[in-house]
Structure 1
Amino acid sequence: MGKVGFSHEFRSIEAGKEHKMLHLLESMFGEIGQMGELTWLLSIAQNLKLSKTAAEFDQLTMLMADRRAAAEDNNKGDILQHFLDDMRSEKPIAFTNKNILYSDAALVLTGATDTIGAVLAHLFYQLANHPHYQDLLHVQLQKAYGKTIPDEFTNQNLSKIPLLDALINETMRVDNPIASNDPRRTPPEGITVDGVHIPGGVAVQVPAYALHRSEQFYAEPAQFGPERRLDDNKEYVKNAEAFIPFIVGPNNCVGKRMTMSVLQLVMGLFHVEF
């Protein structure tokens, strides 16, 4: 995310030890994971300066954002370039001040950091428990291997394997990789959900774990079943919109495509090698 977001290399592998930012991210995820959906406690801890880790993370994030903003070459094509272009425009759409830049810079650094590892761990677990999917996937991956470039996978070919996407998405449904979802504010007129009116200006949050495992939206929700993701299987998926590992709407995860590409590539290489 350093390279994609900031055109910055952390070079942890070359150094033979993890960068300070990686340590802070691990600690932050640990704190958020323990709090579950009560993430507002982290904000209180930060404001009262009770969380040294959060304070260090904020300082390092602001430093990275400032360095990227001060770079002479602003045509790097990274995520921060789009943020800065908007902030420096005559009429900014989203980045009206530097605090918003800092906040979204922090989101860039946390995006796809631990979630990819979590999905892979759960996916390997599910494949170990359901070995017949291993054979089916192996056949599909062999067809894609070297199809465009000899002895290589391409993102274009991997993205066209329905079973691979079905396995990844079903894994994320059963074992949601994110600790919490961001809240959304209700419109001024409020909204009504299942007969209950929620006033305007209220921050509401939907726990992804509960949503993904609800019988209201999925038949046999506790069961791992990639088939429910194939051929528009409405028998097992009652509402396809009840799936939010990357959040939804205009503020969805900016790293979604990269995450899916990495997951597809790792699974492809694993099956070819073994």
Structure 2
Amino acid sequence: GHGKGVEGFGKSSWYDAFNTTEESLFSTRSKKRHAMKRRMVAHGFSAQSLQLFEQFVDEMMEKFMGKMDEFARTQQPFDIYFWFELFTMDLMGELALGKNFGAIEAGKPAKYSSLVEQSQRFSNISGVLPFGKANVKVLSWVPIPRIQELWKARVEYLEFARTALEKRFRDDRKELVPSGKARQDIMQRFSTSNTTLVWVAGASTGSVTMNWMTYYFCKNPEVKNRIIKELENMFPENVDGSQILPFVKLQKLALLENAEIECLRLHPPIGYSMPRDTPPQGAVICGHYIPGGVAVGVPAAIIGRNETVYKNANTWSPDRWTDETADLATMKTCFLGFGYGSRQCIGRNVANQFVMKMMATLLLRYEIELEDPGLVLGTKEFTIQKPDRKYNVIIRPRKS
């Protein structure tokens, strides 16, 4: 991010690999252009827009809970992370294009999801090549079948995004929100490049965060039960979770939010470093002089487990964020779950809204347990830090 003390560190050529039809909010290396792009879309992520967007979150959650009710009736083990991915796919479709992909109802991923992952893999590979802005073109010429497969996926994905966005803008229907005003999509001010940014950032990161929260709640029933107790006190008329919970009240539930933050500390969706070039005069980092123009970075997954910052860093403990004996200021400064400074995730509040609503409703509505109570889940990474294996949960209606 662009934070205090890092102004001389510009974004490295790695970001050029993520340019598509043009620079996106993520890929632009210019601080001035980044600020301009951010101002253009900031209203779409404002508190007012968040309130308008909540009805679409609720609609997608109702569909999702309908599927969960079926699993609760049969009590058959199932892959909940898979369903979280379907939910966020549809939700990002609503957010970006005003229309979901029908993934939840179909019970299978939208076509674009596999294209997204392959396109991101292509970008990650091309980003480490030494040819600057020519990285993408150079890699597209490499006659290795797997590389060509990734390149074709990137081209197909960009065409999919372009046509989907054009269709949305051609749609003259005035969709109304409850206030009677015409619906405003965040993407009405976005280009194709930023459409891909929302789909990837929103869908992939949100689903994997809910996955980790589910896993840790199953592993830590004491924390889970404390949250359920707080939810029951907060919603006495809805202790069975039959109604989708409103975000305005959930914002006051610190323990649930701290559980989310703790998952992001241990398993930040983007775990690797976002490289920056040292300033022309070089820089001294941890006592070592680094010449100018060298790409450096701090992986979020590493600093999040730094024992000098976080006591018992490998232990999941939401209470650490309210521990008055800890150096909370340093802990918060080193937390990179959403990035840092002016470059931190612009959709943080959107993600926090649907993650909090989803997890709170699930906890009130169902008893959730791992099919294998002894499961120790690790991570694998390629753009997004995902679980290292598939796993199942069993849910049943909760007895309030």
TM-score, normalisation: structure 1: 0.75
In structure 2, the CA distance between the partners of 1:178 and 1:190, relative to structure 1 (3 Å rule), is: same
Deviations 1:139-178 (A, max 9, x none): 1111222679x95521011111111011111111112223
* Counterpart selection for 2:198 from 82, 100, 108: 108
In 1, Cα distance between equivalents of 2:198 and 2:163 = 14
2:258 is matched with which residue? 166
1:64-83 equivalences in 2 (<5 Å): 64-68=164-168, 76-83=183-190
| C-alpha displacement of 1:22 | 2.1
1:51-200 equivalences in 2 (<5 Å): 51=150, 52-68=152-168, 76-83=183-190, 101-145=191-235, 151-180=243-272, 182-185=274-277, 191-198=283-290
* Counterpart selection for 2:359 from 264, 267, 271: 267
1:220 is matched with which residue? 312
In structure 2, the CA distance between the partners of 1:250 and 1:78, relative to structure 1 (3 Å rule), is: farther
SS in 2 for 1:3: helix
Residue ranges of structure 2 left out of the alignment (5+ in a row): 1-91, 130-134, 175-181, 367-400
* Counterpart selection for 2:111 from 17, 20, 35: 20
Q: Is the 8 A contact 2:265 2:335 kept in 1?
A: yes
Q: Is the 8 A contact 1:6 1:78 kept in 2?
A: yes
Deviations 1:208-242 (A, max 9, x none): 11111112322221111111111555257743211
Residue ranges of structure 1 left out of the alignment (5+ in a row): 84-100
Fraction of identical pairs, as percent: 25
| C-alpha displacement of 1:258 | 1.8
RMSD: 3.5
In 2, Cα distance between equivalents of 1:238 and 1:249 = 14
SS in 2 for 1:241: helix
In structure 2, the CA distance between the partners of 1:182 and 1:198, relative to structure 1 (3 Å rule), is: same
2:99 is matched with which residue? 8
Task: Report the residue type matching 2:354 in the other structure.
Answer: V
| C-alpha displacement of 1:103 | 2.8
In structure 2, the CA distance between the partners of 1:10 and 1:179, relative to structure 1 (3 Å rule), is: farther
In structure 2, the CA distance between the partners of 1:58 and 1:180, relative to structure 1 (3 Å rule), is: farther
* Counterpart selection for 1:247 from 307, 331, 339: 339
In structure 2, the CA distance between the partners of 1:229 and 1:3, relative to structure 1 (3 Å rule), is: same
Higher relative contact order structure (alpha carbons within 8 Å, sequence separation ≥ 6): 2
